[in-house]
Amino acid sequence: MISPQIIQDYRRLFVNRPAYTLQSARPHPETGRHYYFTPKKVGTGAPVELTEVTIRRHLDGEITIGLYAINPDNQRCKWLAIDADYQNAMEDLLKLQYRLTQDGVEPALELSRRGGHLWIFLARPLLAKDCRVYIHDIALRLGVPVKGSGQREGIEVFPKHDSIEPSAFGSALRGPLGIHRDANRRFWFHGADYTVDAQIAYLNGFRKLTEHQLEMFIAGKERPKPDNSPQERGTASGRRARPARLEFRILEYVAPLRKVGRNYVTRCPSCAELGHDRSGDNLAILIRDPRFYKCWAGCAKEMIRAALGRPTHMEIA
Ligand SMILES: [Zn+2]
């Protein structure tokens, strides 16, 4: 039984904006994986906002939600998370945890399949770009690899962007304490009993990072190079902000490498995330109608869209 207080605490700790993603209840027929999508209302197609009922169902294990780091209204986040999921990931996470503790920051360690997530809670929402400077700087000094900066494997820092456009979502991370659909189990925070109540009580006790601390930590530090993501590239080239609810156009995210018959071919973003597609031509896009595209290595559309930070939509009642 999840109490209203637990739901309030969860919202205060983790929820920074009403938009969220939902993990599909059924596995994808080809890949067997459960992808995240953006829930939309049946009929109107309006985005569904995260409610207390949704949080309760997530904590009950009925559904699994993903949470966005950045609120585009103020470009701030209320938590930072370091995601590490590779061989020796835990070693790097423990190094980071130790280093953060020396700054007086208390990160919470959530276990995952191959590694874990380090969560840092903020006393009040702080600018995503400042948070990123701090974590990237620490990782650099410790020699911990950061994914995207020319590294195939490494930590991923959430928020993944310095800022996002008003209609954008940025990147979502699996909401803690729910059931991971692919693994069919919960992953818990290290250090407390394995019940939702005990875990929330434990997280409530963590010291929150303040704006003043963060300012001191990043004084004189450089901004990290932008992640090699489409959104960053789009902003850097000065492309206009997309109006909300515009149709997804893959050619706004990937550049054709060359033409092959009726298709453009280029690197598949989903393969690239997995460190595949070295030849950079797995993705074929029909020139006549770019709404049709296909990865020759078999990435599902949902994987490609998720890799581009534009998860697919699904209507829910
Ligand atoms: Zn692919």
CA 136 – ligand 1 centroid, Å: 28
* Residue 94 Cα to ligand 1 middle (Å): 32
Cα–ligand 1 centroid distance for 231 (angstroms): 19
Query: What is the average per-residue pLDDT within 284-298?
Result: 91
The one-letter amino acid code at 206 reads F
What 3-state DSSP class applies to 94? helix
- Contact assessment for residue 170 and residue 161, using Cβ atoms and an 8 Å cutoff: yes
Mean pLDDT (the chain) is 87
What domains can you pick out in the chain, each with its CATH number? 4-236 (3.90.920), 250-316 (no CATH)
pLDDT score of 242 more than 60? no
pLDDT band at 317 (very low <50, low <70, confident <90, very high): low
Range 91-110 average pLDDT: 96
Q: What is the DSSP letter of 61?
A: T
Percent of the chain with pLDDT over 90: 59
How far is the centre of ligand 1, averaged over its atoms, from the C-alpha of 223 (Å)?
A: 31
Residue 150, number of CB atoms within 10 A of its CB: 10
Q: Is the pLDDT of residue 238 over 60?
A: no
pLDDT at position 311: 81
> Residue 69 — φ and ψ, nearest 5°?
-80, -50
How far, in Å, from the CA of 115 to the mean position of ligand 1? Answer: 24
Q: In this predicted model, which residue has the larger pLDDT, 128 or 148?
A: 128
Interatomic CA distance for residues 46 and 32, integer angstroms = 28
**Residue 149 pLDDT level (bands cut at 50, 70, 90):** low
CA of 297 to the centre of ligand 1 (A): 5
Encoded amino acid at 262, one letter:
R
Tell me, in angstroms, the distance from the centre of ligand 1 to residue 252's CA: 17
Q: Please state the rounded mean pLDDT for residues 205-214.
A: 96
Structure tokens at 249: 């156009």
∠59-61-67 over CA atoms, to 5°?
Answer: 55
Q: Please say if the pLDDT value at position 231 is more than 50.
A: no
Distance CA 260, CA 203 (A): 53
Residues 6+ apart with CB under 8 A from 167: 72, 241, 242, 243, 244, 245, 246
Distance 308 CA to ligand 1 centre (A): 12
Whole-number pLDDT of residue 150: 64
Q: What is the pLDDT of residue 264?
A: 94
Q: How far is the CA of 265 from the centre of ligand 1 (A)?
A: 12
pLDDT exceeds 90 at position 107: yes
Name the pLDDT band for 133 (thresholds 50, 70, 90).
very high
Q: For residues 317 and 240, which has the higher predicted lDDT (pLDDT)? A: 317
pLDDT for the residue 226: 57
| Residue 227 alpha carbon to ligand 1 centre in Å | 19
Pairwise pLDDT comparison (54 vs 279), residue with the higher score: 54
Q: What pLDDT does 227 receive?
A: 55
Residue 93 pLDDT grade (very low, low, confident, very high; cuts 50, 70, 90): very high
